[in-house]
């Protein structure tokens, strides 16, 4: 009971001090000192910022005509349209595709090395995600037992960590790429299946 009386008496004392304004824990003088010091720090930071901007303009100013031309060119690119509308009635240029090449009867099949350099090298050069490296006989030995058709199917459609490459190369190009990576570079023979 004594403790509850004592705590309630202290609560009343502090409440009376706060109501009368006489008993603040931080005085007005201390508030003024804090605000003055805070303003000085902010002012010093602004001064340093302005000084750094001036120094940067002196050393890297826009007096360089090459930089000014590059900035102007980039500004024009940024302000230009993201697309263009053909108002002349001319047909749009045709994108190259395998279908258009077959219509003309001319379609160049890439060599195995070209396909590997264009499509396969990203993963098979550094054994990325357990991909057997180019010329890595030990890495390829477990896979070649499956035969040609399985290797070509897994390459074209994807298998495990191997992403599908059917859209990146024709079946003949895939076969040529596997032959170059495995047969030519490791000396291993892949059985027909």
Residue 189: CB atoms within 10 A of its CB come to 9
Instruction: Please give the Cα distance from 120 to 12 (Å, whole number).
Output: 81
* CATH number reported for the structural domain that contains residue 168 in this entry: 1.10.760.10
**66 in a structural domain:** no
Q: What is the pLDDT of residue 138?
A: 84
Nearest to 154 by CA among 174, 135, 138, 140: 174
**41 in a structural domain:** yes
Count how many Cα atoms sit within 13 Å of the Cα of residue 167 in the half-sphere of its side chain: 3
**76 in a structural domain:** no
Parts of the chain with a pLDDT under 70: 1-26, 61-62, 80-107
**148 in a structural domain:** yes
Three-state DSSP state, 162: strand
Phi/psi for 62 (5° steps) reads -90, 15
Token pair recorded at residue 109: 């099949």
**64 in a structural domain:** no
Identify whether the C-beta of residue 140 lies closer than 8 Å to the C-beta of residue 86: no
**12 in a structural domain:** yes
Are 53 and 116 contained in the same domain?
A: no
Token pair recorded at residue 165: 């490459």
Q: How many domains does the chain have?
A: 2
Domain containing residue 28: 2-59
Count how many Cα atoms sit within 13 Å of the Cα of residue 13 in the half-sphere of its side chain: 6
Q: What is the pLDDT of residue 51?
A: 95
Q: What is the pLDDT of residue 50?
A: 96
Identify whether the C-beta of residue 124 lies closer than 8 Å to the C-beta of residue 151: no
**96 in a structural domain:** no
Instruction: Please give the Cα distance from 108 to 69 (Å, whole number).
Output: 42
Instruction: Please give the Cα distance from 81 to 1 (Å, whole number).
Output: 81
Per-residue pLDDT tens over the stretch 38-72: 999 999 999 999 999 998 888 776 677 777 788 78
Alpha helices (runs of H) in 85-124, residue ranges in sequence order? 98-104, 112-115, 121-124
For residue 162, list its beta bridge partners. Answer: 159
């Amino acid at each position: 009971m004594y403790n509850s009386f004592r705590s309630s008496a202290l609560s009343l004392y502090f409440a009376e001090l706060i109501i009368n304004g006489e008993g603040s824990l931080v005085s007005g003088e201390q508030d003024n000192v804090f605000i003055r010091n805070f303003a000085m720090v902010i002012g010093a930071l602004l001064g340093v910022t302005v000084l750094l901007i001036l120094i940067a303009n002196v050393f890297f100013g826009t007096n360089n005509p090459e930089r000014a031309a590059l900035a102007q060119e980039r500004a024009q690119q940024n302000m230009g349209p993201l697309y263009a509308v053909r108002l002349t009635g001319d047909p749009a240029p045709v994108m190259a595709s395998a279908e258009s090449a077959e219509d003309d009867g001319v379609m160049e099949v890439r060599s195995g090395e070209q396909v590997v350099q264009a499509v396969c090298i990203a993963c098979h050069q550094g054994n990325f995600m357990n991909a057997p490296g180019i010329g890595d006989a030990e890495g390829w030995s477990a896979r070649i037992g499956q035969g040609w058709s399985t290797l070509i199917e897994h390459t074209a459609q994807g298998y495990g960590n191997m992403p599908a490459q059917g859209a990146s190369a024709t079946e003949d190009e895939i076969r040529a790429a596997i032959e170059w990576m495995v047969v030519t570079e490791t000396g291993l023979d892949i059985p027909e299946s």
